[in-house]
Amino acid sequence: MDRISFHEQISRNKIKSFLLLASILIVLILLGFFIGKVVGPDYFFIIMIISIIFSVFYIWFGYYNSHKIALASVNAKPASYSEYPMYNQVIESLCIASGIPKPKLYVMHENHINAFASGRDPENAVICVTTGCLEKLDKHELEGVLAHELSHVANYDIRFMTLTAVLVGMITIISEIFLRSIFWKSLDNDNKKNQSIIIIIGIILAIIAPIITSLVQLSISRKREYTADASAVKFIRSPTGLKNALKKIQKEHPLKNSEEKHHYNKALAPLFISDPFKRKISELFATHPSIEKRIEILEKM
């Protein structure tokens, strides 16, 4: 079996993440070029300003309050040292190994094994685990899960995904405004003849650009999960704990009733170490890579 270096895995997935982000920028530039050709640079500039204002304002609020929103949505409670000593001790050891400040720790009452990290930077980070995580995992497995979540903090994944969300949001808003305006914007006959191909290309691009960039955004999310897995191995110098924890998560049954599902907001699902809804969908549309693939990679480290 070919061995995989965690350094190589981290580097490869970070490069892929940046290339995917660059592809979103390329789509934005192409969209801007063709829309500018159709409606004129001045009108496109106005559309651009509107999209930036709406997208940045919306994402900015979520960015600075992401940890508060996430914790409130799952009714998480602070994990005191006296009540959860092992949880605190493992995090403290990992923080020393990773060289980042200790995040605020929380617990949510849920029987399934899961955890998430949030916060715009290491100084404002939080980590939350389920009671199932603390009850069903041994210390080594818990260490693997917490190292994964701490890796998201150390890698500034919330910041990276926020930037991605801003760009995708801008493309969606620009496309929507353009498609709505193109039908009432009048062009003279000469312009219609000369610009017909550009108009068609602009309309097609405006329709497919939000779809393509949303899929790229999901791909970036999956790459960041692979990176966090590899970074967790880097922190604890062993893939065994995280691998065994993922195997236990894999064996758990999907959520069966709506009452359980109400513990989670679907918008929060990408933050978790595994999709809490355990949806059977193509990986193309998934926020997380399959647990089988993650375990397979960890077994080669």
Percent of the chain with pLDDT over 70: 85
The pair of structure tokens assigned to 70 is 């996430």
In Å, how far are 143, 216, 239 from 25, measured between CA atoms?
37, 11, 35
What average pLDDT does the segment 258-283 reach?
69
What average pLDDT does the segment 15-34 reach?
87
CA atoms within 13 A on the CB side of 42: 0
In Å, how far are 107, 171, 172 from 31, measured between CA atoms?
44, 8, 11
The verdict on whether 149 is a catalytic residue reads yes
Give the tens place of pLDDT for each residue, 219-264: 999 999 999 999 999 999 899 999 999 999 988 865 544 444 445 6
DSSP 193-248: HHHHHHHHHHHHHHHHHHHHHHHHHHHHHHHHHHHHHHHHHHHHS-SHHHHHHHHH
DSSP 145-156: HHHHHHHHHHTT
C-alpha–C-alpha distance, residues 267 and 74, integer Å: 12
pLDDT band at 213 (very low <50, low <70, confident <90, very high): very high
Give the tens place of pLDDT for each residue, 145-190: 999 999 999 888 888 888 788 788 888 888 888 888 776 655 445 5
- Using N-to-C axis directions, what is the helix angle for 240-251 and 291-299, rounded to 10°? 150
Residue 3: per-residue pLDDT:
77
Residues with Cβ within 8 Å of 238's Cβ and at least 6 positions away in sequence, in order, are: 140
Q: Report residue 165 CA to chain centroid gap.
A: 9
What average pLDDT does the segment 260-289 reach?
74
User: pTM above 0.95?
Assistant: no
Give the tens place of pLDDT for each residue, 26-45: 988 888 888 877 777 777 77
C-alpha–C-alpha distance, residues 160 and 146, integer Å: 20
Residue 258: per-residue pLDDT:
42
C-alpha–C-alpha distance, residues 61 and 289, integer Å: 28
Residue 62: per-residue pLDDT:
64
What average pLDDT does the segment 96-110 reach?
90
C-alpha–C-alpha distance, residues 231 and 222, integer Å: 14
Give the tens place of pLDDT for each residue, 43-55: 777 777 777 777 6
Sheet bearing 126-130, strands edge to edge: 77-78, 104-108, 126-130, 115-118
Q: Is 271 exposed, middle or buried (0-12, 13-18, 19+ CB in 10 A)?
A: buried
Choice among 110, 141, 143, 149 that is catalytic: 149
Residue 231: per-residue pLDDT:
92
Q: Measured between alpha carbons, how far apart are the two ends of the chain, in Å?
A: 10
Give the tens place of pLDDT for each residue, 57-90: 766 666 677 777 788 888 899 999 999 999 999 9
The answer to whether residues 272 and 245 touch, using CB atoms and an 8 Å cutoff, is: no
C-alpha–C-alpha distance, residues 169 and 147, integer Å: 31
What average pLDDT does the segment 113-121 reach?
88
The whole-chain average pLDDT of the chain stands at: 83
pLDDT surpassing 70 at residue 191: no
